[in-house]
Amino acid sequence: MRTLSRILFLFAALNLFADDPAAPPMLPESLTLTSKVVLRKISAVRWEKDRVIIHHLGGTDPILYNYIAEPQRTVMLALRDIEMSKPKVPPKAAAAAPAAAPEGVFSGQCYVATSGGSLAYYRMSGMTVMVLPSEAEERFADDNSTINLPPALLLVTTDMDGKFTFTVPPKTAFFLVAQGYHLENNQKVYYHWRMQSSVIKDPAHLLLTSENCTHVNKRLVFDHM
């Protein structure tokens, strides 16, 4: 009996250790949203205060924590706090740094928040992104609805996921302009962006979102010279 009691005691202790609440949370393999949508084989691209950028079998999307079903929301918030508390300075001589993106190559994505939908984001596909000479910013000084633009350095169109890529000669200064819309309650809601290349800190992740757009629901007409 004593031997059996010891075995049962050790088994209980092992179970207690396995359920140790101090153990760090683990990123789930799949993520269930409040809309019952399940994102499978997920990985976290970037942690932010109100959302996490998730890569999954269907693509890459920004997910608001409020749209994650419990108990996974609590786990994701705990992981966010851990990741965002880590020092920003990379450790000395850790592993070899990944190869930097070629200079002059810019890759981005355009998406905007919507008033509904399971992910609350809409990817702006088929939108023209204009790369203009840097001095084109002067054409927007009066904030008119019709803008005369100089010849573009190049034009690119966003794909089905709102992604785009373009290449300019290294050290080229440019002015980026984009405009697109999505239908909301059968009405066109316009979004407009413009920025100098000097403010782009991460050319490999150039995001055009409803958070950094210049105008909402104002349609501009471009007249190219």
Assigned domain for 139 exists: yes
Residues 217, 140 within the same domain: yes
At residue 58's C-alpha, the angle toward residues 62 and 209, to 5°, is 30
Residues 73, 154 within the same domain: no
* 225 contact partners, CB below 8 Å, separation of at least 6: 148, 149, 150, 151
pLDDT, one tens digit per residue, over 131-145 is 999 999 999 988 788
Residues 199, 166 within the same domain: yes
CA separation for the pair 173, 176 (Å, rounded): 10
CATH of the domain at 172: 2.60.40
Report how many domains make up the chain: 2
| Residue reference for tokens 């007409």 | 221
| Residue reference for tokens 């190869």 | 99
Helices (H), 37-162: 72-84
CATH of the domain at 74: 2.30.30
Q: Where are the beta strands (DSSP E) in 12-89?
A: 30-32, 38-40, 43-47, 51-56, 59-64
Domain that holds residue 109: 105-224
Residues 145, 184 within the same domain: yes
Cis peptide leading into residue 71 (ω within 30°):
yes
Overall average pLDDT of the 212-225 stretch: 82
Assigned domain for 10 exists: no
Assigned domain for 18 exists: no
Adjacent-strand bridge partners of 181: 190
Assigned domain for 174 exists: yes
- Give the C-alpha distances (Å, rounded to integers) separating 208 from 28, 130, 162: 29, 13, 9
CA separation for the pair 111, 163 (Å, rounded): 9
Residues 112, 168 within the same domain: yes
Assigned domain for 94 exists: no
Assigned domain for 93 exists: no
Adjacent-strand bridge partners of 189: 182
Judge contact between 133 and 150, C-beta under 8 A.
Answer: yes
Identify which has the larger pLDDT, 197 or 7.
197
Mapping DSSP to helix (H, G, I), strand (E, B) and coil, where does residue 225 land?
A: coil
Residues 109, 79 within the same domain: no
DSSP 177: E
Q: How confident is the model at residue 225 (pLDDT cuts 50, 70, 90)?
A: low
Whether residue 188 is predicted with pLDDT greater than 80 in this model: the reply is: yes
pLDDT, one tens digit per residue, over 99-127 is 556 789 999 999 887 765 444 678 899 99
Torsion, Cα 210 216 217 219, to 10 degrees, reads -110
Residues 131, 213 within the same domain: yes
- The pLDDT of residue 99 is 58
Adjacent-strand bridge partners of 128: 157
Whether residue 15 is predicted with pLDDT greater than 80 in this model: the reply is: no
Assigned domain for 92 exists: no
- The pLDDT of residue 25 is 86
Residues 109, 220 within the same domain: yes
Residues 140, 74 within the same domain: no
Q: Which two tokens stand for residue 91?
A: 């450790």
Assigned domain for 95 exists: no
Report yes or no on whether pTM surpasses 0.75. no
Residues 111, 71 within the same domain: no
